[in-house]
Amino acid sequence: MQTFIESGVLADLRKGSMETFAENLAEAATEKLGEDVSVFATHRDHAFGTAGDRVVKLTWTRTVDGTEIHVEDAEVPVITGETVDKFVAKKLRETVDSLMGGDLEISRTQLRAVVGHILPDGHYWASDGIKIAEDVLAEKPQWLAVYEDEDGRKAIRKAVHGMLGETEGMVPRTPYSRIPEKRLVEFSTEIRESLTRISELLSGLPDQLKDLEFSEDEAEDIELAAARDSIAEESSTLERAVVVALRFLGEEDLPQAAKFHDILAERLKPMLVVGRFLARLGSDTQNSGENQDASSP
C-alpha cells in the first residue's frame, strides 16, 4: 500500500531541510555555470556535484545581498563512456592479481565494482585486439591471392617500380620479436609508436582506394575490384585491432605485442604495394578516359 503526503504538508516538512538546500544549491550552480549541475554530496560548508563529465566542488558565502555560490573543479577522476572500458580492464587486471595472490575477498570486491560495466562483446585486454588481427591474417583475401601469383606479383612490382622502395619504406622495419623478452620494456615506447604508425598507414588505405572504379564486364577488372574491396575491408579491421591492442597494452603484453607488430609489418608491405598499384591503375584508366573524351568530335 502506497503512502501519500499532501503537497502542502510535504512543502512545510521540506522547509530548511538539507534536501531543499541541495536542490537550491544545484539550481544556483546551474545558473552560474550555464550547464546542468547535479549535487550528490552535501556537507556543512561545501558540496560535490557533477557538471557534464566532471566533478565540481560547491561552496557558498553569506552576503548582505544573499548567498553567493562558488564553483571549482574538484579534480576527482571520473569514468565516462569513453574511458569505462579502460576502467574495467584495470579492475579486471587487479582482480586477476588478487586471485593469483590468494586474496579472494579483495578480488570479489573488485569484480563487483565492474561487473555491471562488462559488455559481452567488449574488449578489455591487449590480446583481444591481437586475436581480431590473427583471425583476419589467417585468411587469404583476394588482394593477397593476386600478389602471391607469380605473374601478378611481377606485373604489380614492375608497375610501381619507381615507387617500390618508398612504398615499402613507409612500414616500420625494426623486428621487435627478435629482441630478448627481458629487454622489451626498454623498447616499450618505440613499440607503441611503431604500432601507431602501422595503424595510421592502415587507416589511409580505404580512402585511397574508395574512388577507384573498374569495369564489371572484364574478368581482369572484376578481379581487381575484388582486390580493392578486400584491401579496404582488411585494413579497416586490422586498424581496429591495433587500436584495441594499444589501448590496453601493458608491460606484460610486450612479448606478444612484439610478435604482433612484426607480423602486421610484413603483411602491410605487400598490402601497400598492391594498394599503390591499384591507385595508379585507376588513375591511368581515368586519364585515358578523359583523353578519349577530349578527342571525341
Check whether 295 has a pLDDT greater than 50. no
Same domain, 108 and 66: no
Identify whether 272 is part of a domain: yes
Same domain, 131 and 109: no
Check whether 32 has a pLDDT greater than 80. yes
Check whether 84 has a pLDDT greater than 90. no
Number of structural domains (the chain) is: 3
Mean pLDDT to the nearest integer, 139-151: 90
Q: Is the CB of residue 50 less than 8 Å from the CB of residue 38?
A: yes
Identify whether 108 is part of a domain: yes
Same domain, 53 and 153: no
Same domain, 136 and 90: no
Same domain, 67 and 101: no
Same domain, 96 and 130: no
Check whether 33 has a pLDDT greater than 50. yes
Identify whether 3 is part of a domain: no
Same domain, 112 and 137: no
Identify whether 78 is part of a domain: no
Residue 132 or 113, more confident: 132
Identify whether 294 is part of a domain: no
Whole-number pLDDT of residue 104:
64
Same domain, 107 and 30: no
Same domain, 135 and 282: yes
Mean pLDDT to the nearest integer, 160-183: 93
Position 192 confidence tier, pLDDT thresholds 50, 70, 90: very high
Residue 128 or 211, more confident: 128
Same domain, 131 and 258: yes
Whole-number pLDDT of residue 293:
47
Identify whether 2 is part of a domain: no
Position 281 confidence tier, pLDDT thresholds 50, 70, 90: confident
Same domain, 130 and 34: no
Whole-number pLDDT of residue 1:
60
Identify whether 170 is part of a domain: yes
Whole-number pLDDT of residue 106:
64
Whole-model pTM over 0.75: no
Same domain, 193 and 268: yes
> What is the span of the domain harbouring residue 161?
126-289
